[in-house]
Amino acid sequence: MADTYRCFWVEKDAAGDVQQSIIDRSVADLPSVESPSVRVAVRWTSLNYKDALAATGHPGIVRHFPHVPGIDVIGEVIDSDDPQFATGQTVIVTGHELGTSHHGGWAQQIHVPASWIVPLPQGLTPREAIILGTAGFTAAQCVQSLQHHGVEPDSGKVVVTGASGGVASIAIQILSRLGYDVVAVSGKPDQHSRLKRWGAAEVIDRNDFIDDSKRPLLSARYAGAIDTVGGTTLETLLRTTAYRGCIAACGLAGGHELQTTVYPFLLRGITLAGIDSAMCPMPQRLEIWNRLASDWKPAGLEDLANEISLDDLPAAVDSMLAGKHSGRSIVPM
C-alpha cells in the first residue's frame, strides 16, 4: 500500500478565498480517530448537493479548512482495530461527519470511527451501492416515512419534486416498484421521458405546479409527497396534500425559508416529516441498506449513473449548483 493518497483539497488562501486543488497527501496525515477505528481504501465516491456546497466552502457545511469533501464511500478495509471488520472487506461509509467536519471520500483513503461502517449487504455490487449512496439512502428513508404515516399505494397519488435529481430519481423508482401512483415535478423538460421510464405515471413542469397565491389551502390532490426542493415548492405541497397525508422533506435547493399557516396541519391533519440522513441511527441504517439490496432495489440504477473522474468534479459541482445536474455522478478512485 502506497504511503501517499490523492485527494480533492479545499482550503482558503491568505485573502480568505476558497481554493480547490487535487493533491497527494501522506497517509500519516490522515485524521486521527478514537479507537475503534477503520482505515478504508476508497474505491468509489460520488457527488451530492452537500458535497457541492462543501467543495465551495459553504460555511453551513465546512467549519474547518483545509477540507476534503465527499459524504459517500464504498471501499475496502485496509486495517481495523474493531474485530467485526476484516482486512479486504467491502464496506459502505455515508453520512455522520464524513465530508463535513471530518475529511471525506473525495480521497483514495479515509480513516473513520468503526461506528460509521456498514458492511456491503448481499444483493449490491460496490458500483450499485455508490450509485445509491446517500441519495438512495435518503430516498429510502423518505419512502419509509410515508409508509410509517399510513401513505400506502392505494392511498392516492404521491408527488416527488426535483424529480431528475439523485434523491428524487431513486425515490421514483422505489415508489413505482412498490406500486405507488407517482407524480414527478421537474423544471427540466428534457428529462420528462426519463422520469416516465423510471416509473412516474405523470410529469408536471415545476412552473405549472407551484402556486404563488396566498390561499392557505388548495384543492387536496395528493396523498403524500417526497420533497427535495423546499421553498415555494414545499409551500405548495403543504396546501395540496390530502387529509392525513404526509410530506417527507429532505432538501432545500429551492430555498430554506418556508411561508405557511397552521391550516394544513389543523384542518387536514397532515404530517411534515423531516428526513436527516447523516445521523440516522445504526439499526435503521442497516435496515434501509438491506432493503435497498433486496425488495426496494431500483431496477434502473445504471440509467442514473454518470461516471466522472476526480478531475471532473469542479465542473460537475458548478453544474449541480446551477441546477443543471441530473442523476448520479459517481467517481472511481
With b meaning 16 or more CB within 10 Å and e meaning fewer, what string describes 236-261? bbbbbbbeebbbbbbbbbbeeeeeee
Q: Residue 327: what pLDDT?
A: 86
pLDDT for 325 equals 87
Residue 126's pLDDT band, with cuts at 50, 70 and 90, is very high
Residue percentage of the chain with pLDDT more than 70: 100
Predicted confidence (pLDDT) at residue 94 exceeds the cutoff of 80: yes
Name residue 304's amino acid.
Answer: L
Beta bridge partner(s), residue 332: 44
Q: Cβ distance 46 to 328 under 8 Å?
A: yes
What is the average pLDDT across 14-28?
Answer: 95
Strands (E), 179-221: 182-186, 202-205
pLDDT digits (tens, 9 = 90+) for 36-78: 999 999 999 999 999 999 999 999 899 899 999 999 999 999 9
pLDDT band, very low/low/confident/very high, at 324 (cuts 50, 70, 90) = confident
At which residue does the C-alpha cell 425515490 appear? 171
- For residue 1, name the pLDDT band (cuts at 50, 70, 90): low
Using H for helix, E for strand and C for coil, what is the string for 214-255? CCCCCCCCEEEEEECCCHHHHHHHHHHEEEEEEEEECCCCCC
Q: Mean pLDDT of all residues in the chain?
A: 96
